């Protein structure tokens, strides 16, 4: 009970308790309760870079018409995370980010350079953007 009172006083200091009811006892969803009390029900689900990269790579490699290769370079900074080779000779790149994160300045520079050479660079930071890449690759491979 003392811990709950502590968090209630913290929320009072943040100005979040006036419009919101007291949270239920012993929950792990304080961040959810805070976002709801602020009126942020439409927030995007935060998806980790690791999950997005693993899922995208597995789906592309299993589909049979594309191959996803992790790009690792000690000489060129800012390369996209994945090189995607498609049936029929189409090549594109994917930069994977945790939801809400943006590419760094060097990554943006490299992406622009690749775009000028005619390559497509996708920024994947949500499940929806991952599905868009999968759909794009499928259409280009057929």
Percentage of the chain surpassing pLDDT 90?
65
Angle subtended at Cα 94 by Cα 49 and Cα 98, rounded to the nearest 5 degrees: 20
124: tokens are: 């994947």
**Digit-coded pLDDT (tens) for 31-72:** 555 555 555 556 678 999 999 999 999 999 999 999 999 999
Q: What is the pLDDT of residue 89?
A: 95
| Contacts of 41-47 spanning 24+ positions with Cβ under 8 A | 44/99, 44/100, 44/126, 45/99, 45/126, 45/127, 46/98, 46/99, 46/100, 47/98, 47/99, 47/125, 47/126, 47/127
Query: What pTM was estimated for this model as a whole?
Result: 0.70
Q: Which residues of the chain register pLDDT less than 50?
A: 18-19
């Amino acid at each position: 009970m003392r811990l709950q009172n502590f968090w209630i006083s913290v929320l009072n200091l943040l100005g979040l308790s006036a419009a919101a009811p007291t949270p239920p006892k012993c929950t792990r969803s304080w961040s959810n309760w805070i976002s709801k009390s602020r009126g942020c029900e439409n927030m995007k689900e935060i998806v980790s870079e690791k999950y997005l990269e693993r899922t995208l790579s597995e789906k592309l490699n299993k589909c049979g018409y594309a191959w996803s290769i992790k790009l690792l370079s000690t000489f060129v900074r800012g390369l996209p995370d994945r090189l995607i080779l498609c049936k029929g000779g189409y090549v594109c790149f994917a930069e994977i980010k945790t939801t809400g994160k943006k590419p760094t300045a060097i990554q943006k520079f490299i992406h622009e350079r690749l775009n000028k050479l005619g390559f497509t660079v996708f920024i994947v930071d949500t499940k929806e953007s991952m599905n868009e890449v999968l759909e794009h690759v499928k259409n280009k491979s057929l």
